[in-house]
Chain A
Amino acid sequence: MATRMFGMPVQRTEDERLITGKGGYLDDLGAGAYAAAFVRSPHAHARVRDIDVTGALDVEGLVAVYTHEDLSGPMAEPLPLLIPHPAILDGRTPYALAKEYVHYVGEPVVMVVARDRYVAEDAVGRIAVDYETLDPVVGIEAAARAERVVHAGMSDNVAAHLVQEVGDARAAIAAAPNRIELDLDIERSACTPMEGRGVYARWDGRDAMLRLYSSTQTASGVRAAVAAKLGLQLGQVEVVVPDVGGGFGVKIVHPWPEELMVPWAARALGHEVKWAEDRREHFTAAAHERAQRQHVTVGFDDEGRLLGLDVDILHDNGAYLPYGIIVPIVTSTQLLGPYKPGAYRVEFRSLYTTTAIVTPYRGAGRPQGVFAMERTMDAIAAHLGMDRADVRAANFIQPEEMPYDQGLLFQDGRPLIYDSGDYPASLEKIKKLVGWDDFTAYRDAARAEGRKVGIGLACYVEGTGPGPYEGGHVQVETSGKVRVATGLTTQGQGHQTALAQIVADELGVPMSDISVTTGDTRRMPYSVGTFASRGAVMSGSAVALAARRLKEKALRIAADALEADAEDLEIVDGRVQVRGTPSAGIELGTVAVLSNPLRYAFDEASKAATQFTGAADYTRPPVAADDEPGLEGTDFYSPLRSTFASGMHAVVVETDPETAEIRILRYCVVHDCGKLVNPLIVEGQVHGGVAQGVAGALYERMEYDSGGQLLNASFMDFLMPYASEVPKVEIDHLETPSPLNPLGIKGAGEAGVIPGAAVIAAAVEDAEGFAITRMPVSPSELFHLRRRFDKGGIAPLPGAYSRTGEANA
């Protein structure tokens, strides 16, 4: 048996290509394509009175100008609401080009097609749109007050309203010996991948076929959406996803207005068209996430055990609701983390504002939920004077209680049942890793020197790998090379490597003989997409199942050829051989030849499969009734429900007593995503996630002014941390296999980001001695919090979290 690849820290096979500039991204394609650019709304809320394009018409190189009036049929209708949910009261989606109203700065109003992007932008600058400005609605408070409404025909701004309850939480809280209320606040951030969105379309009029390249997280989703809008059969649309320079959630949204207009224009013009988003467009016109206000009421006993938890969430969903209410659903369910909440009631309102849409960003509502729960845990500890780790331990679901049913419906519409996990073991590991029990002495010593240091701890559970399904196709070529295809897309996660590791083990072939294709509807039309930490769980399982089918067939064919029993065969290093007698064997490539009975030999190897060679069995047709030619396997993996990964972060910070700078001294992670396919890739995912967690805790926010203008729509003012701001991450792993899939794996893509805001808030709070209830927190804000604290405007800990929940909200 060759070395097992599954679980090995294999170097990512895609990296050499990607980091030496040999990747092929969307804008590397279509050198001969016309370029598109868009006139976008400069107003947060306005009615379009008139569009005058005459000023642009004499721009040399202009090809076409389109407005909503040029659209008809499905293209003139609003974009689809991708995930309908009964709790959605009024689901508004945008038009491909604004019809009458615009609802955020950056909304596309006019499409310009020109010889190149320079000319297109020149023309954009000469198009005059006459707007009647309307009142903007910016921020959760304004949206909830509803003195102004975002959408005509609505009496308030509530897009959706959902209550889930297990037990009678309010009665449990009322009867509890201790009760606390918290008001919490999290700001907007965004995915900001290195590569923005982009679409490149080729219409072949002779074949009536559309080939669409998109920088997306779902090839199959884009295909179906574009076909529906353009009035094409699915079979007329091919979607190919080139290398994608990061997604982090924003590219799961589809179809974007631009993703429809580009192929529509390509067909109308009979010429290739391309649009590659620029950074300013991405900031204003793609999607954001995170903004929520939460009111938590918790009742607990004297040991810190939760008796009742009541959470009220206001969620800012931006101008439209194309992706439904996945984010607040995730917040309201994943909030529970590794704990038994006693009775639980959660209610959220998802609110329209005249700002960019809010759709999942890595973590997808979990960072907010974890923030609510972990701030609550710390508040309970402060209230009771208990160790913060002990309060958590008192509330953990125990390993022997798995599978554990939280009694709610999760984001996949299926029960929130945790499949496995060992939270007490994780806590022990993180306490050891960070030196939890020794920290008090360190903190006291630091304080004696005039330094302020603090430690924080935060736990999370992440539902990963939701269905409905993914598929795998594995084929052995007559050369012995193995081609693997799965439908979901890759944005740099290392799927080529991880999936090849899985197939290498299943088939017994070297990784170097395996190539993996993702996100190409020509190779695997049935697929869902890459989101919710599902790539490895879903496609990993699917390609494993497909490889098992293929192997069964290979052994059957080889058994015939070797006149052996299939049960006695194994595949080692790409060769099928008799176990114990390796000299009796046949190359897998030869098995591929034999799997396809031929009339015509086209080369030396294929002679073996023609009708006058070898021993024929005249009682059977060359291809059996229940068989098919070729050495291929296709299978699909569809899980019963999501699998739940978990982890704990601990961080040590130091705050400057004079300047209020916040420095991370240590960042520790214990991570349990079940069986590790590739520890190197998992750790890379954790590192990247932690970077985004730190970003959301200390640096990034979307700074809208009261008029709805985004003030920091550039990397100069949107403070994505540099490498110099991201701490070294210390990682320990726990492997609690999932019983739900053939490989025992759980998703790992988002985990690193999830507890970032919660754990850093806890550490800053510990250093400062007063409650931190709003994130992110900047040095300037910490400076002002200190001022208020010094003047008695903020209560010290413990006691900061009062029944009135004032804190620093």
Chain B
Amino acid sequence: MKPPPFAYHAPTTLAEALDALADVGTDGKVLAGGQSLIPLLNMRLAAPGHLVDVNGVAGLDHVSVDASGVRVGALARHADVEADDDAAAAVPLLRQGLRLVAHPVIRNRGTTVGSLAHADPSAEMTAALALLGGSVTAASTAGRRTISAADFFVGPLESSLRTGELLVDAHFPRPPAGSGTAFTELARRHGDYAMCGVAALVTLDDDLRVTAARAAYLSVAPVPLVLDLTEAVAGRTPDTADFDAAGRLVRGRLDPEGDIHATAEYRAHLAEVLTARALREAAGNAVRR
């Protein structure tokens, strides 16, 4: 479990980093938090010829909050985002999800944007970005482009990021006024990848009646799937809405795969149960906001 040989690049500016990535092309990988890449290297499941370590690049570790939402820089660690009270106030789903990301030591090193770039459909932040309709910014020597979450996640561990591109930040928009969110998941052990996880967003009108209910799913689809479940609970108040019915709406709309930890049938069952739980909690949070 030692990595194969690779050339190591340690740029200190974004321009240097993008030049390095352009030079190495498909034979290069970006190293940020390394929480997924380093194990892949040690297991020799990946053998890039070049690692471009962006940890020394200045100006990428920001967590900034404005009227539109929270912008997270490429080097902001999960722990930085989780601890940011302004970010949690603007987009509560961030802290709600981040506390479920592995363990504190992993969150201390792992980056939120790196997790998005890894495009793991069992990751919390991919689901959060998808649920909120957020976007990422990719930079290369050719320039910058903004990619919506819907267009970014293509398949398991597969994104629309192009060779030579570096994800420089991600934007998590504020949920609409009157909204509440919640994040719930079930893992075999505390901090493990979830067997199923649900991020939910419920929006209420001024009479506290549901106008929108959406949920994003992890570990049950190849990409962070978002389902609109408004029809099951529209017009109801949080205490009269039938969230279990919303859970049943999920049935047939997910086609999870089984693995050694959970069968496909069990995951589908969890998706129903957790949908109801997450929506109920999100609706409760919407009332309190």
Contacts and interface: CB of A to CB of B under 8 A. Distances in A.
A660 B188 CA distance: 11
B273 A658 contact: yes
A558 to B, nearest CB: 57
B260 A783 contact: no
Contacts of A117: 2
Interface in B6-40: none
Contacts of B263: 780, 783-784
A712 interface: yes
Nearest to B247: A658
Interface string B257-274: 000111101100110011
A121 B273 CA distance: 46
Interface in A703-723: 703, 711-712, 714, 716-717, 719, 721-722
B44 to A, nearest CB: 7
A784 B1 contact: no
Nearest to A60: B5
B195 to A, nearest CB: 7
Contacts of A122: 4-5
Given A118-B2, A122-B4, A711-B260, A783 B269 contact: yes
B189 A719 contact: yes
Given A661-B186, A724-B190, A780-B261, A280 B266 contact: no
Contacts of B3: 118
A125 B44 contact: yes
Interface in A196-243: none
Contact of B266 (A279, A717, A724, A779): A779
A660 B263 CA distance: 13
Contacts of A778: 188, 261-262
Interface centre among B2, B4, B186, B269 (most CB of A within 10 A): B2
B170 to A, nearest CB: 25
Given A780-B261, A784-B266, A699 B188 contact: yes
A724 B102 CA distance: 12
Interface in A39-71: none
A725 B190 contact: yes
Contacts of A168: none
Contact of B186 (A659, A703, A721): A659
A458 B102 CA distance: 34
Contact of A659 (B5, B44, B192, B273): B273
A130 B190 CA distance: 43
Nearest to A118: B2
Given A659-B273, A724-B190, A780 B262 contact: yes
Nearest to B196: A659
Interface in A113-136: 117-118, 121-122, 125
A783 B266 contact: yes
| Interface range, A side | 20 to 34
Interface in A774-803: 778-780, 783-784
A437 interface: no
A117 B274 CA distance: 46
A125 B4 contact: yes
A278 B1 contact: yes
Contacts of B188: 699, 719, 778-779
A237 B188 CA distance: 47
A784 B2 contact: no
B273 A280 contact: no
B1 A725 contact: no
A780 B186 CA distance: 11
A779 B260 contact: no
B191 interface: yes
Contacts of B261: 717, 719, 778, 780
Interface residues of B, number: 26
A774 B72 CA distance: 48
A784 B265 contact: yes
A716 B274 CA distance: 23
Contacts of A784: 263, 265-266
B74 to A, nearest CB: 25
A125 B4 CA distance: 9
Contacts of A699: 188-189
B58 interface: no
Contacts of B43: 280, 714
Nearest to A720: B189
Contacts of A118: 2-3, 5
A724 B44 contact: no
A679 B190 CA distance: 31
Contact of A779 (B186, B192, B193, B274): B186
B2 A121 contact: yes
Contacts of A278: 1
Contacts of A121: 1-2, 4, 44
Interface string B146-172: 000000000000000000000000000
Contacts of A721: 189
Interface string B187-227: 01111110100000000000000000000000000000000
Contact of B189 (A280, A659, A722): A722
A117 B1 CA distance: 9
Given A659-B270, A659-B273, A719-B189, A780 B195 contact: yes
A784 B267 CA distance: 12
Contacts of A783: 263, 265-266, 269
Contacts of A658: 273
Interface string B105-147: 0000000000000000000000000000000000000000000
B280 to A, nearest CB: 13
A522 to B, nearest CB: 33
B273 to A, nearest CB: 5
Contacts of A280: 1, 43
A108 to B, nearest CB: 16
A712 B193 CA distance: 14
Contacts of B191: 722, 724
Interface string A652-679: 0000001111000000000000000000
Contacts of B189: 699, 719, 721-722, 724-725
Contacts of B270: 659
Given A121-B2, A278-B1, A712 B260 contact: yes
Contact of A780 (B1, B2, B266): B266
A428 B262 CA distance: 40
A652 to B, nearest CB: 20
Contacts of A779: 186, 188, 195, 262, 266
Interface in A692-746: 699, 703, 711-712, 714, 716-717, 719, 721-722, 724-725
A197 to B, nearest CB: 14
Nearest to B103: A722
A724 B192 CA distance: 12
Contacts of A725: 189-190
A279 B1 contact: yes
B187 to A, nearest CB: 10
B183 to A, nearest CB: 16
Nearest to B276: A658
Contacts of B44: 121, 125
A59 to B, nearest CB: 10
Contacts of B2: 117-118, 121
A457 to B, nearest CB: 26
Contacts of A279: 1
A780 B191 CA distance: 18
A425 to B, nearest CB: 37
B102 to A, nearest CB: 10
26 contacts: A121-B44, A122-B5, A125-B4, A280-B1, A659-B186, A659-B270, A699-B189, A712-B260, A714-B43, A717-B260, A717-B261, A719-B188, A719-B189, A719-B261, A722-B189, A722-B191, A724-B189, A724-B190, A725-B189, A778-B261, A779-B186, A779-B188, A779-B262, A780-B263, A780-B266, A784-B263
The 4 closest A-B CB pairs, nearest first, are A724-B190, A278-B1, A780-B266, A780-B262
Given A703-B260, A714-B43, A780-B266, 4 more contacts: A279-B1, A699-B189, A719-B189, A779-B266
